[in-house]
Structure 1
Amino acid sequence: MWKILIIDDDFQVLEGMKKAIPWEAIDAEFVGEASDGAEGLEMIGRTKPDIVITDIYMPVMNGLEMIERLREANFPGELIILSGYTDFQYARQALRLQVSDYLSKPVTVDELRTVLEKVIKELEAKELIKMEQEEIKKRLMLYEPFGQQEWLKSVITGTFQKWAAALNPPPSEQQYWLHRNHLVMGIELMSTIRTANLSLIDWNLFRFALANIIQEILTEDWPESDFIELHSHHAAIMFHIERSEPMDTALARIKTIGDRIAVCILTYLQLNIRIGLGQIKAAWQEISDSTEEAFLDLLQMTIIPSPGKPSSLPSNLAIRPIKFYQELAEAIVYSKEETAAQIVDAYIRQLQIMPSITPAYLQYLCTELWTIFAYSLYSVGIVLDELFPEAHLPSEISQIQTPAQLQEWLRAKIHIIATSRHWSENSKHKEAVDFMIQYAHDHYAEEVSLEDMSKQLYLSRNYLNQIFKKATGETFTNYLIQVRMKKAQALLAEGKHLIYEIAEKVGYKNVPYFSSIFKKYTGMSPSEVGKSG
Structure 2
Amino acid sequence: MWTIAVVDDERQVLQGMRRIIPWRELNAKPAGEASDGEEGLKLILEQQPDIVITDIYMPVKNGLDMIEELRREQYDGKIIILSGYADFEYARQAMRLNVDDYLSKPVTVQTLKDVLGKAIGKLEEERKKALQEGERQRKLTLYEPIAKQERLKALVTGAPGFGGASWTYDDGEGDGAGRQYRVAAVEISQSGRLDGMKPADWHLFRFAVANIAAELAAELRLDVQPVELYGRQTVMLLRFPAGMTVDESRRQAVQFARRLIQAADAYLHIRIQVGIGGMKEETKVIADSTEEAFQALHTKLCVPDEAFPIFIYKRKQDAAGNKVAELRPIRHYHEIAQALAGLQQHLAAEAVERLAALLRDWPELTAAELQRVAREVWTICKYTLHETGRGLEEAFPAESVERELAELLLPAQFREWALAKIEAVCAKFSRGDNLRHRQAVDYMVRYVHEHYAEDLRLADLAEQVYISRSYLSNIFRDLAGETFNDYVTKVRMEKARSMLAEGKLMVYEIAEKVGYKNVPYFTTLFKKHTGRSPTEFVKN
* TM bin (shorter chain): 0.5 to 0.7
- How far apart in 1 are the matches of 2:501 and 2:203? 20
Q: Does the 8 Å contact 1:138/1:457 carry over to 2?
A: no
Q: 1:526 to 1:267 in 2, by over 3 A?
A: closer
- How far apart in 1 are the matches of 2:139 and 2:407? 42
What does residue 288 of structure 1 align with?
Answer: 287
Aligned counterpart in structure 2 of residue 463 of structure 1, from 461, 471, 478 = 471
Deviations 1:268-313 (A, max 9, x none): 2222222222222222111111211221122212999xxxx99xxx
Q: 1:430 to 1:523 in 2, by over 3 A?
A: same
- How far apart in 1 are the matches of 2:532 and 2:162? 51
Runs of 4+ in 1 over 6 A off after TM superposition: 136-139
What does residue 185 of structure 2 align with?
Answer: 186
- How far apart in 2 are the matches of 1:168 and 1:259? 29
What does residue 514 of structure 1 align with?
Answer: 522
Q: 1:392 to 1:141 in 2, by over 3 A?
A: farther
What does residue 300 of structure 2 align with?
Answer: 301
Structure 1 residue 430 displacement after superposition: 2.2
What does residue 159 of structure 2 align with?
Answer: 159
Aligned counterpart in structure 1 of residue 422 of structure 2, from 405, 414, 433 = 414
Q: Does 1:332 align with 2:331?
A: no
SS of 1:384's equivalent in the other structure is: coil
Structure 1 residue 382 displacement after superposition: 0.5
Structure 1 residue 483 displacement after superposition: 1.5
What does residue 229 of structure 1 align with?
Answer: 228
Structure 1 residue 223 displacement after superposition: 4.0
- How far apart in 2 are the matches of 1:219 and 1:141? 25
- The one-letter amino acid paired with 1:335 is L
Structure 1 residue 384 displacement after superposition: 1.2
Q: Does the 8 Å contact 1:178/1:283 carry over to 2?
A: no
Q: Does the 8 Å contact 2:184/2:236 carry over to 1?
A: yes
- How far apart in 1 are the matches of 2:387 and 2:215? 25
- The one-letter amino acid paired with 1:291 is T
- The one-letter amino acid paired with 2:412 is A
Structure 1 residue 197 displacement after superposition: 2.7
- How far apart in 1 are the matches of 2:485 and 2:162? 38
Q: Does the 8 Å contact 1:417/1:423 carry over to 2?
A: no
Q: Does 1:400 align with 2:415?
A: no
Q: 1:212 to 1:201 in 2, by over 3 A?
A: same
Q: Does 1:316 align with 2:325?
A: yes
SS of 2:464's equivalent in the other structure is: helix
- How far apart in 1 are the matches of 2:472 and 2:287? 37
What does residue 202 of structure 1 align with?
Answer: 201
Identify the range of structure 1 (321-330 vs 362-371) with the bigger mean alpha-carbon deviation.
362-371
Identify the range of structure 1 (137-146 vs 445-454) with the bigger mean alpha-carbon deviation.
137-146
Q: 1:476 to 1:527 in 2, by over 3 A?
A: same
What does residue 56 of structure 1 align with?
Answer: none
What does residue 258 of structure 2 align with?
Answer: 259
- How far apart in 2 are the matches of 1:177 and 1:384? 45
What does residue 500 of structure 2 align with?
Answer: 492
Deviations 1:254-278 (A, max 9, x none): 1111111112112222222222222
Q: Does the 8 Å contact 2:212/2:498 carry over to 1?
A: no
Q: Does the 8 Å contact 2:206/2:234 carry over to 1?
A: no
SS of 1:225's equivalent in the other structure is: strand
Structure 1 residue 168 displacement after superposition: 4.8
What does residue 147 of structure 2 align with?
Answer: 147
SS of 1:173's equivalent in the other structure is: coil
Q: 1:138 to 1:424 in 2, by over 3 A?
A: farther
- The one-letter amino acid paired with 2:281 is A
What does residue 275 of structure 2 align with?
Answer: 276
What does residue 57 of structure 2 align with?
Answer: none
- How far apart in 2 are the matches of 1:328 and 1:251? 31
Structure 1 residue 193 displacement after superposition: 4.0
- How far apart in 1 are the matches of 2:531 and 2:293? 42
SS of 1:419's equivalent in the other structure is: helix
What does residue 360 of structure 1 align with?
Answer: 368
- How far apart in 1 are the matches of 2:235 and 2:165? 24
Q: TM-score, normalised by structure 2?
A: 0.66
Deviations 1:190-216 (A, max 9, x none): 233433432224323212111111121
Structure 1 residue 412 displacement after superposition: 1.4
What does residue 346 of structure 1 align with?
Answer: 354
What does residue 246 of structure 1 align with?
Answer: 245
SS of 2:300's equivalent in the other structure is: helix
- How far apart in 2 are the matches of 1:464 and 1:162? 25
Structure 1 residue 164 displacement after superposition: 4.2
SS of 2:230's equivalent in the other structure is: coil
Q: Does the 8 Å contact 1:279/1:293 carry over to 2?
A: yes
Q: 1:414 to 1:161 in 2, by over 3 A?
A: closer
Q: Does 1:479 align with 2:487?
A: yes
What does residue 433 of structure 1 align with?
Answer: 441
Identify the range of structure 1 (176-185 vs 471-480) with the bigger mean alpha-carbon deviation.
176-185
Q: Does the 8 Å contact 2:216/2:260 carry over to 1?
A: yes
* Structure 1 gap segments, 5+ residues each: 1-135
- How far apart in 2 are the matches of 1:273 and 1:346? 31
Larger Rg: 1 or 2? 2
Matched-pair identity in %? 37
- How far apart in 2 are the matches of 1:194 and 1:455? 36
- How far apart in 2 are the matches of 1:350 and 1:273? 30
- How far apart in 2 are the matches of 1:455 and 1:238? 35
SS of 2:472's equivalent in the other structure is: helix
Q: TM-score, normalised by structure 1?
A: 0.67
What is the Cα-based RMSD across aligned positions, in Å? 3.0
Q: 1:525 to 1:194 in 2, by over 3 A?
A: closer
Aligned residues: 389
- How far apart in 2 are the matches of 1:439 and 1:161? 20
What does residue 218 of structure 2 align with?
Answer: 219
